[in-house]
Amino acid sequence: MARLIPSEVYNWIAGGEAPAASGETIAKLSPHNGRLLCRLARSGWDEVRAAVAAARAAQPAWAATPAVQRGYILHQVCNRLEQRAQEIAGIVAQETGKSLAEAKGETGGAIALGRFFAGEGQRLYGRTTTSGTANKYAMTVRVPCGVAGLIVAANTPIANVAWKLFPALICGNGVVLKAAEDTPATAWIVAKIAEEAGLPPGLCNVVQGLGPEAGAPLAERADIDVLSFTGSSRVGRWLAEVAGRRLLKISLELGGKNPLVVCDDADLEHAVKWAALSAFSNAGQRCASGSRLIVFEAVYDQFKQMLLDKARGLRLGPSDLDDLGPVINQRQMDNMLAAVQEAVGRGAVRLCGGRRASAPDLANGFYVQPTLLEGVDPEDPISVNELFGPIACLYKAVGFAEALELANRSPYGLTACIHTQSFDRALEFAHRVQAGVAVVNMGTYGSEPHMPFGGVKVSGNGTREPGTEALDIYSELKDIYLGVNPQVSPGGRP
């Protein structure tokens, strides 16, 4: 694949590229082979402050632009993204190590989401209602928050950018996007293309750098009006504390330790297919990945063998013929392999994987073999901590009640899935499982642009992105009351 990423990836501030004032950069390594891919600006407070100032200056004119016209401009942005989808997908593939086909699918999904929110410019509904007072009219309208700070994760980089950028813009906000340090070029190219397509300069700014140096100041010190974060629950807790002290509006989409239940009446071949996709696709780097596989005792041994055969046959690599790529960096790989070793030391049985790939063409990359464990206590750290890699644990349940109890025995509550042919089991599970998303006979992951996504417990703070519910994050409701004098004619005369 041709090189698509510049050797140095800068910030995008006020309509142009800007290096860090210090001149410092950070190495970004290819997850596929560990080689230097590019260097990104090591930004800090000075760059954050400049980006916020640019967004603050550009925002009033954007807010004054009718929402329908804002939507038209965002449609033009989507058109330009679509024209350059091959290039964008290539950047995503190079930064993440995933296959080009998977990157193309992710890019197409991001564009579809952008079109959905562009269309919402025609539907930024308020409401009119009655008043308890005579000769008084009541209504609500949506108004922008002002400047939105957006902090995204690296696992699905173009999708993560789109999920936050488009709803923030259609609501009339200026934006400062803190790019994930592992996928700096994806955010950079989106901002660049957006301005080429007609988005006003300064409205969408991208700050590169490390979370503690560039993300933390955006939350703690910057003059922003709303903050949206996708990432770990640990960082989310800290951001919630910071936002609470500032009374800053915040949206948190955090981690998951998602259960996939296989009942004794399930289509096992179908269940194995979806369990493998839930656990291992995107190298398990999904907040919605299926990392806890809860199987009825009656079919446990059969399901386990079928899933083992499936896992052992999965191909690792960056090509379209491969099933999963590398994890995003060395630190992530080392942490998850250590977690597996610690679980085995506490009595877990490693059924497959749990090691770094050793094939000569993969050995220098950050590839983790698809890993299945059994005999893990539901309270063990590997059962309750998100690993964000291709690692899943098998648990045995006597029946539906125990399976549901195991599914809910988690600090997280993002997604959950059940495989069954029973309408009663499926509906009961969907209602009683403690998760923001419940799925029947598919995988634990997946969302659509018009559907809200988010979790309960430590998987979030109750907000939802995308869907029209995301508009509640990036806009405020304003009440408007009109008092009229019925004795005055339209011409102003009694």
Q: Which residues are catalytic?
A: 253, 287
CA 146 to CA 166: how far, in whole Å? 15
Dig out the tokens for 158 from the structure. Answer: 């173009």
Q: Among all chains, which residue has been given the structure tokens 């996709």?
A: 277
Dig out the tokens for 192 from the structure. Answer: 């660049």
CA atoms within 13 A on the CB side of 466: 27
Dihedral sign from CA coordinates of 230, 180, 449, 57: positive
Phi, psi for residue 359 in degrees, rounded to 5: -60, 140
Q: Among all chains, which residue has been given the structure tokens 């289509």?
A: 267
Provide CB contacts within 8 A for 1, sequence distance 6+: 90, 93, 94, 100
Q: Find the helix or strand (DSSP H, E) in which 157 lies.
A: helix 157-170
CB contact burial 379-388 (16+ within 10 A = b; e otherwise):
ebebbebbbb
Query: Rounded to 5, what percent of the chain is helix, strand, coil?
Result: 40, 20, 35
Phi, psi for residue 3 in degrees, rounded to 5: -70, 125
CA 439 to CA 262: how far, in whole Å? 12
Cα–Cα distances (Å) from 432 to 254, 321, 378, 428, 488, in that order, read 21, 39, 19, 6, 58
Burial of 493 (0-12, 13-18, 19+ CB in 10 A): exposed
DSSP letter string, 189-242: HHHHHHHHTTPPTTSEEEE-S-IIIIIHHHHHTS--SEEEEES-HHHHHHHHHH
List residues bridging with 144 in a β-sheet.
Answer: 475
CA 314 to CA 94: how far, in whole Å? 21
Q: Are strands 349-352 and 371-374 parallel, antiparallel or unpaired?
A: antiparallel
Contact 114/88 with Cβ under 8 angstroms? Answer: no
Cα–Cα distances (Å) from 133 to 128, 129, 136, 153, 485, in that order, read 15, 12, 6, 50, 13
Dig out the tokens for 374 from the structure. Answer: 């059994």
CA atoms within 13 A on the CB side of 263: 19
